[in-house]
Amino acid sequence: MTSRAVVLGGGGVLGIAWETGVLAGLAANGVDLREADLVVGTSAGALVGAQLACGLDPEHLYARQLEPPAGERRPKSSPLGLFRMVWNLSRSKTSQEFGARMGRIALAARTVPEAERRAQVARWLGDEVREWPDKRLVITAVDAESGEPADFDAGSGVDLVDAVCASTASPGVRPPATIGGRRYIDGGMRSPAGVSLAAGYDRVVVIAPITRGGGIMPGVEQQIAELGDGVRTALVTPDPRGWRQVVGSSMGNLLDPARRAPAAELGRSQPSAEEVAAVWRD
């Protein structure tokens, strides 16, 4: 029997919007990725993946992304934060060392209270997403102290909202998530998307706003290649010109809720249905 997996990568607030638009555009063209046997979510993709695995209507989720921000605050970020990440990535000899370095930055940063952040994530997920779905869902994160990777699923005993909080905890911007006495940070600190977790599946669709790795962090294309020649794959990434227009000149704009609607519209307009359908359907 053919097994199918969907992998959703990181990309901030705009990544959530763009991925949601992609899912809605695919569904409108007869490609419903809710049929997946496995959903893997990293960072922004953790939130979208949880909604997908729980069976929420992509069109309804897309409509949410078009709504005005309604006073939602843009978290503080700076070019220094990006510089720190790149510098630590270049200095680290292992992915675990890089995770621990970024964990120290996250633990020392002043951000909103953890309870406030959790309430925000719960609102974004929606009332329908509180329990782990029957479908297999894996959410990636990194232990802030040890730098070790962490994968949360229904069997981990971790609350679903807490798992999404952990995976979306951008170092220096969002507070690390406390789970079982440990602190966890963004799953994007180990990879832009957790493609390797789809190993063993016959067909894999990867939806990734950001694909580049660097240093000891594997990029998306590298992980896809490592799945093996017998796996049918499709990679959906943003239209470069359209993405630059939406994001602008600063990577900090990935966290700007005022740009959410254009990002969602860009995702929905992606001409990717035919390519994905060729992998997804028999």
| pLDDT tens, position by position, 123-165 | 999 999 999 999 999 999 999 999 999 999 999 999 999 999 9
Burial class of residue 260, CB neighbours in 10 A (0-12, 13-18, 19+): buried
In a domain, 30, yes or no: yes
Active site residues: 43, 186
Q: Are the CB atoms for 258 and 16 separated by under 8 Å?
A: no
Range of the domain at 59: 16-75+109-280
CA 134-63-279 angle, 5° bins: 55
Residue 139 CA to its chain's centroid (Å): 9
Burial class of residue 127, CB neighbours in 10 A (0-12, 13-18, 19+): exposed
| Contacts for 71 with CB less than 8 Å, ≥ 6 apart | none
In a domain, 97, yes or no: no
In a domain, 1, yes or no: no
**What is the β-pairing status of strands 203-207 and 232-236?**
parallel
In a domain, 46, yes or no: yes
Q: Are the CB atoms for 7 and 107 separated by under 8 Å?
A: no
DSSP one-letter code for 37: S
| pLDDT tens, position by position, 48-76 | 999 999 999 999 999 999 999 877 777 77
Number of residues assigned to the chain: 282
In a domain, 91, yes or no: no
Look-up of token digits 């909202």: 161
Q: Are the CB atoms for 177 and 169 separated by under 8 Å?
A: yes
Instruction: State residue 82's pLDDT score.
Output: 59
Q: How many folded domains does the chain comprise?
A: 1
Average pLDDT, integer, range 29-57:
98
In a domain, 84, yes or no: no
